[in-house]
Structure 1
């Protein structure tokens, strides 16, 4: 199942007008459960962050988290890096157009060769590590880029079905819901050990996407994406679909963010240098 073509199609629709794109960012915040978890962690981080914090979004994609961080701190300096040149150029144009180019900049770079030293107070990595084969090398690079006491915040699938791959699937040769992943998900202890080996002094990892969150993800992401992969004409029906299902998904997201999960298909990991 290819997820990137759907993302590109959505980006093209909402790029028609700059304020439509701002609406797109807001919709992603509402719909994506991982965004709920990340916003919660960012609010906690902000309480102790420098007013002029330097932030790296490692795998910035559409730029939604750079937008969120720019709104959180007027003096924050934010760098977004991504491997896709067209996406980097698009984000730079958009943030310049919205008057944020002086404090939010994007560049094309591979995290495997990322080389900066003690520059950032926070590094954000949302749904990136599962796409990278040399993940420990990237973890070391990101650790080196942080100032002493800096924070790395990761959202990634767990090995409890995080790429929508279940134990019986491996016998069927299934690749999971999202083909672009190089691993099905992380074991919670394994990712903690990797980060400690990479040079972090402490690591906290917790499950996200418990039963409530997994159901919300199916309603807001899996089912619509599966439908859109059959025909793009269904874009027209999406607003009506979300009007029906979102009240339930909103409640399920609230439950997931506030609950302690013994297991889950996602991981939220905070590592301190």
Structure 2
């Protein structure tokens, strides 16, 4: 299933003015369980963050996490990079309208080539690595771009069903996923730890996210709506009513998931220290 067309359609609706854009960010924070985990880790990181911390969002997309970080620290210097030029232009325009251009900037970049030696205290990589075939090259580049002691924070699907892949009954060798843009089905916890250590990180902590509660919440808040939107854009009209019914349940399940330690899950939260 192609996820990008749905994102573009949502972007057109919510990018009409800054108020709608911020509303969109807040909705994503509520609906996306990975955002719950990332915000938890950012709150923890902020407790020891240096003054005028330099932060990179590697694969910034709509700029959701750049916005969050810009509100967390008034002296943070934040760079967002993405391979899509239209996303870069759109984000720069929004942050200029919010008068944040002096400490927030977006640039087009290919992460397999992007290196800014010893520049950043924190780098985010939220649902990016699963889209990149040359992931170890990117990990090495991000390691070089961190200051000593800096942290790379990764959210990515695990190999325990994170990409929701399915084998075709009539073609067993053909595999499709819920999001077709993924180049791998997900990471094994030991695999991603080994890759990061080969890339130069000295300490790597990996934990599962999207346990049983989170997996149900993801289906309610993301999978089923996106499947219906792919079938018909008319479902945009029904979305508010759908979420009115399902969101309270998903919200409770997200709370349960982010507060538990999971022995297995369809997502991974990775903290790698240089």
SS in 2 for 1:113: coil
CA deviation after TM superposition for structure 1 residue 171, in Å:
2.7
Cα separation, 2, equivalents of 1:144 and 1:26: 33
SS in 1 for 2:242: helix
Residues 208-219 of structure 1 mapped to structure 2, 5 A cutoff: 208-219=209-220
- Aligned match of 2:244: 243
SS in 1 for 2:272: strand
CA deviation after TM superposition for structure 1 residue 94, in Å:
0.5
Instruction: Return 170-179 or 36-45, whichever deviates more.
Output: 170-179
Residues 1:211 and 1:166: Cα distance change in structure 2 (over 3 Å): farther
Cα separation, 2, equivalents of 1:168 and 1:267: 26
SS in 2 for 1:51: coil
Cα separation, 1, equivalents of 2:150 and 2:16: 38
| TM-score (structure 1 length as normaliser) | 0.98
> Residues 226-258 of structure 1: CA distance to partner in whole angstroms, max 9, x if unpaired?
000011111011011101101100000001001
CA deviation after TM superposition for structure 1 residue 51, in Å:
2.4
CA deviation after TM superposition for structure 1 residue 166, in Å:
5.3
Give the number of aligned pairs.
273
- Aligned match of 1:47: 47
Residues 1:168 and 1:252: Cα distance change in structure 2 (over 3 Å): farther
Residues 115-126 of structure 1 mapped to structure 2, 5 A cutoff: 115-126=115-126
Residues 43-192 of structure 1 mapped to structure 2, 5 A cutoff: 43-165=43-165, 171=172, 173-192=174-193
**Backbone CA RMSD of aligned residues:** 1.2
Residues 1:255 and 1:168: Cα distance change in structure 2 (over 3 Å): farther
CA deviation after TM superposition for structure 1 residue 18, in Å:
1.1
- Stretches of 4+ moved more than 6 A in 1? 167-170
- Aligned match of 1:14: 14
8 Å CA contact 2:167–2:175 kept in 1: the answer is no
SS in 2 for 1:232: coil
SS in 2 for 1:205: strand
Cα separation, 2, equivalents of 1:154 and 1:193: 14
Q: Which runs of 5+ in 1 are unaligned?
A: none
Residues 1:43 and 1:167: Cα distance change in structure 2 (over 3 Å): farther
Cα separation, 1, equivalents of 2:153 and 2:213: 23
> Residues 54-85 of structure 1: CA distance to partner in whole angstroms, max 9, x if unpaired?
00000000000000000000000000000000
> Residues 155-194 of structure 1: CA distance to partner in whole angstroms, max 9, x if unpaired?
0000000000257889362311000000000000000000
- Aligned match of 1:225: 226
Q: Which runs of 5+ in 2 are unaligned?
A: none
CA deviation after TM superposition for structure 1 residue 115, in Å:
1.6
Cα separation, 1, equivalents of 2:254 and 2:187: 22
Cα separation, 2, equivalents of 1:175 and 1:103: 41
